[in-house]
């Protein structure tokens, strides 16, 4: 399976090259990524359950969408593109923070990502790509916190890392 290239970066998110996505994950090289978190006007977060046949973390619950910008593509533009491709809608997005994480998976792949975290609000229809998304649902932040404690193995590694900061941001914004 040949996947599109990712942008390899240094620890300051400066591009240092490109590499086919699967190869970058096999070698565990740092690359640029983004995670989009969408909430509705009631403050509920839109989660997706990754399709079972994804190359890693299949069947796990996570944020609204995530991916990698293509070489030459701005992260914000890539976030809008993938939101439409994965979830079937678009909305205004704002980058809130970024972080670097590394996670090794049972299949030998390693996510080593400089992850840009974006947030948006949307209240319309959600029509996900079935090849990408097995299921989706809006949940209140407190329900997500409870699920992360009760069923931590049902969520992606990066969701555990990003959710607390996003939840704090969203709760402060609602005050």
Domain limits, the chain: 5-174
Instruction: Give the per-residue pLDDT at 42.
Output: 95
- The catalytic residues are 66, 113
Read off the DSSP letter of residue 63: S
The stretch 34-54 carries a mean pLDDT of 93
Backbone angles phi, psi at 124, to 5 degrees: -95, -160
Q: pTM for this structure?
A: 0.94
The stretch 56-75 carries a mean pLDDT of 91
What mean pLDDT is reported for the chain? 93
For residue 117, pLDDT over 90 is answered with yes
Instruction: Give the per-residue pLDDT at 175.
Output: 74
Backbone angles phi, psi at 165, to 5 degrees: -70, -40
The C-alpha atoms of residue 36 and residue 56 are separated, in whole angstroms, by 18
Indicate the fold that domain 5-174 takes in CATH. Answer: Nucleoside Triphosphate Pyrophosphohydrolase (3.90.79)
The C-alpha atoms of residue 40 and residue 70 are separated, in whole angstroms, by 28
What is the helix (H) or strand (E) element at residue 67, kind and residue range? strand 65-67
Per-residue pLDDT band for 2 (boundaries 50, 70, 90) equals low
- Tokens describing residue 162: 């990003």
Contact between 28 and 105 (Cβ < 8 Å): no
Burial of 139 (C-beta count, 10 Å sphere; 0-12/13-18/19+): middle
The C-alpha atoms of residue 5 and residue 17 are separated, in whole angstroms, by 10
Backbone angles phi, psi at 118, to 5 degrees: -120, 150
For residue 36, pLDDT over 80 is answered with yes
């Amino acid at each position: 399976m040949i996947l599109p290239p990712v942008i390899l970066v240094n620890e300051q998110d400066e591009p240092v090259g490109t590499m086919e996505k699967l190869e970058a994950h096999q070698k565990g090289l740092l690359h640029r990524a983004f995670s989009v978190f969408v909430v509705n006007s009631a403050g509920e977060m839109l989660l997706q359950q990754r399709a079972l046949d994804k190359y890693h973390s299949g069947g796990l619950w996570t944020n609204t969408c995530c991916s990698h910008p293509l070489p030459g593509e701005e992260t914000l533009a890539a976030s809008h593109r993938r939101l439409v491709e994965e979830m079937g809608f678009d909305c205004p997005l704002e980058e809130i923070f970024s972080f670097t994480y590394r996670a090794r998976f049972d299949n030998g792949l390693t996510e080593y990502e400089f992850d840009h975290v974006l947030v948006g609000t949307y209240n319309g229809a959600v029509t996900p790509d079935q090849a990408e998304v097995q299921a989706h649902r809006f949940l209140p932040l407190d329900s997500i916190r409870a699920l992360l404690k009760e069923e931590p193995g049902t969520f992606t590694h990066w969701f555990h890392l990003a959710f607390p900061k996003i939840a704090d941001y969203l709760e402060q914004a609602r005050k």
